């Protein structure tokens, strides 16, 4: 049976979606994230400012140890302690935001993990796969475990659910 979710937060009003799969299961075979959402939030991503306005929609367990600040971003909360994100306005200008996920890729990943499937899935999975080019650069230019090498690129890769600590 499909579960109906109704979202009312700062960026979405009366948005309704249905969970059609089992949570965390039945991912597209092309989408194999190395990090789950809870792990990413605990490590420190998006300068602590992601999902702060829509926490009610997702499992409380994701936020128990999350590094979040509700009012302003703080790059010191990121795992690599650097800023590695473009503002949402840039994503909007470039047309990278799908109307059902107004916060961008990470919100899509949250919804996808929770089992919502939507017309934007294939585009987001393709965008996720493109991040591999950055992993190749880390492997080529950095010694494994040298977190001082390319920290902005490492943080950006972490934002994409790849575990750049292992590269």
pLDDT in tens, 45-62: 999 998 888 889 999 999
Tokens of 92: 């909007």
Task: Give pTM, 2 decimals.
Answer: 0.93
At 71 the pLDDT is 87
The domain of 105 spans: 3-166
Q: Is 50 exposed, middle or buried (0-12, 13-18, 19+ CB in 10 A)?
A: buried
Tokens 């939507």 sit on residue? 118
The mean per-residue pLDDT over the stretch 103-121 comes to 95
pLDDT at 1 > cutoff 80: no
Tokens of 61: 């367990």
SS3 39: helix
At 67 the pLDDT is 96
At 165 the pLDDT is 92
The mean per-residue pLDDT over the stretch 86-108 comes to 92
Contact at 8 Å (CB) between 155 and 138? no
pLDDT at 112 > cutoff 80: yes
pLDDT at 63 > cutoff 90: yes
Number of domains forming the structure of the chain = 1
- What secondary structure does DSSP assign to 127-152, as a single string? HHHHTHHHHHHHHHHS-TT-TTSSHH
């Amino acid at each position: 049976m499909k579960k109906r979710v109704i979202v009312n937060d700062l960026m979405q009003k009366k948005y309704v979606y249905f969970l059609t799969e089992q949570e965390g299961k039945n991912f597209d075979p092309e989408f194999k994230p190395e990090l789950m959402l809870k792990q990413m939030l605990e490590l420190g991503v998006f300068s602590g400012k992601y999902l702060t306005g829509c926490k009610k929609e997702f499992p409380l367990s994701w936020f128990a140890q999350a590094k979040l600040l509700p009012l302003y971003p703080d790059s010191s909360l990121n795992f690599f302690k650097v800023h590695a994100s473009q503002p949402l306005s840039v994503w909007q200008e470039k047309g990278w935001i799908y109307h059902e996920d107004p916060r961008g890729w990470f919100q899509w990943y949250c919804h996808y993990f929770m089992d919502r499937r939507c017309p934007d899935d294939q585009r987001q999975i393709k965008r996720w796969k493109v991040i591999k080019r950055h992993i190749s650069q880390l492997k080529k230019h950095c010694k494994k475990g040298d977190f001082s090498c390319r920290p902005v690129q490492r943080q950006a890769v972490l934002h994409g659910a790849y575990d750049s600590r292992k590269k």
